[in-house]
Amino acid sequence: MNELYESLLELQRLDDEIRRSEARLNEMKPKIDEIDAPLTALQSEIETSRARLSEMREKQKKLEQAADNKRERLKSYEARMERVRNPREEAAARTEMDLVKRAIDADEQESLELLEQSRRTDLKLDDMDRSLQKVKDEADPRRQEILAAQQGIQDEIARLRDQRNNHAGRLNPNTLRLYDRVRGPQGNRRALAPLKSDGACGNCFNVVPLQERSEIRSGRELRRCEACGVILYPEDEATQG
């Protein structure tokens, strides 16, 4: 078979292998995401619970401070009770004291409720931390297996690309540009197809004119299918080779 056709077919073979390997590599990411999904969900829940716990503790602290401030006010009212001069002033002072006492009770009650909620959240977080570690321990072997497979494919792609670059470097630059142009910017089109024995393009099956067939079989220059644009090579020579 014409050496030029053989070189281009080898280049196409390498490109096809690279694309298949890249497709296999892309298939790995959903598998990693699937493994990570329970971890991510649990970590998000833990972060939300920790933020909520922090908010509860901060609110409890403010309630305690507010209750302390009210107790100071209550002391001032109690001191004023000792200086009242008539029943009317005493009644007003007692009303103020009752209001402050109820406010203190409300603050203390809410603080106790928050304390209990914080305690339950703390216990829940302990359970979630243990669950997270368990999920990590169970997922890690599978993750490492997939990561190892990923690395193997990446090494394979690097090896193929190195072969491809070395091979492409031996081609005529104009020939390589034509090949790359036919292959397309994404490199996902077929660049070469056989000219079938009946004179049809092996890619789109358009019948190639007789003169074109002769030029393709001679191998003096590259010819493209007028219908689909692929570079044609003689199938009968490929079979013999």
Q: Which residues pair with 224 in a beta bridge?
A: 231
Fold of 3-171: Helix Hairpins (1.10.287)
Sign of CA dihedral 211, 217, 223, 227: positive
14-30: per-residue pLDDT in tens?
999 999 999 999 999 99
Average pLDDT, the chain: 92
> CA torsion, points 192, 197, 198, 200, in degrees to nearest 10?
0
Model confidence, pTM: 0.69
- List pLDDT tens digits, range 52-111: 999 999 999 999 999 999 999 999 988 888 888 888 888 988 899 999 999 999 999 999
Structural tokens at position 160: 């193929």
Residue 160 to residue 34: CA distance in whole angstroms: 29
Q: What is the pLDDT of residue 1?
A: 60
List the chain domain ranges: 3-171, 174-240
Q: What is the pLDDT of residue 215?
A: 92
The whole-number average pLDDT for the span 172-179 is: 96
Position 176 scores a pLDDT of 96
What's the confidence (pLDDT) of residue 90? 87
Tell which phi-psi region holds residue 200, choosing left (phi > 0), alpha (psi between -120 and 50) or beta.
beta
Residues 6+ apart with CB under 8 A from 212: 223, 226, 232
Query: pLDDT band at residue 240, thresholds of 50, 70 and 90?
Result: very low
pLDDT attached to residue 239: 41
